[in-house]
Amino acid sequence: MPDILTLYVDDELIVANKPAGLPTLPDGYDKTAPYLGGELSAQYGRVWIVHRLDKDTSGAIVVARSAGAHRALNLQFDAHTVAKIYHALVLGVPDWDERTIDLALRPDGDRRHRTVIDSQRGKAASTHVRVLERFAEYTLIEARLETGRTHQIRAHLAAIGYPLVSDALYGTLRGANAGQPDVGDNRRMVEGISRVALHSRSIAFEHPTTKARLQFEASYPEDFDAALKDLRFR
């Protein structure tokens, strides 16, 4: 398992760069499998999980070291004052530079337990996306979340025709954009990355005690960096 890079630590919280493949919480089937909370607890003592990143998602995550910090950080997440930026590699090359995706989402909405677009029974969800770099068939996208629904970025980008690279769950959905490549082609993998190509690039929030506004950026892990280098070389 790759090492967890600690970006910041004090008596109230830890900001870590989570490696891909490490779940945030214990595995429901294998209680002995490593997970972020357990690894940090072994090093720093008891921690409280504030928010989650999917097992295959790498990058910046904040964890509380006290019950008070946990409550204060949870309030910020509930109030949507925590700024989270993700970087995603997607299939397809959009002809827009920026857009906002406002599509209601319903988790566990089909037989594959995916989050689906559902204007009737779904909850409001908003994702701001911006093109960072275009390649021949792929694009590096920045995604800023206004809401924090399950699999929001993956579901939203797939819905508009740009599924994430190596996303076996959402990569087979057909997007709404006419003229885009068949997203079934998303089974092709970019050299260097074989997991969902999503990285939590940065996180900003108010310190629960000092009230200072803090911002942290998580460097790309080796596989994400290798994928970008491969695409640039092509």
Active-site residue, from 3, 27, 54, 110: 54
Query: What's the CA gap between 174 and 158, in Å, rounded?
Result: 7
Is the Cβ–Cβ distance between 141 and 90 less than 8 Å? Answer: yes
Q: Respond yes or no: is residue 185 known to be catalytic.
A: no
Q: Using CA atoms, how far apart are residues 171 and 181, in angstroms rounded to an integer? A: 12
Name 84's Cβ contacts closer than 8 Å, sequence gap at least 6: 60, 144, 145, 148, 200, 202, 203
| DSSP per-residue string spanning 121-132 | TSBP-EEEEEEE
Residue type, 61: I
Strand, coil or helix: what is 102? strand
Residue whose structure tokens are 């909405």? 109
Spatial CA neighbour of 143 closest among 95, 201, 197, 96: 201
Give catalytic residues, as residue numbers: 54
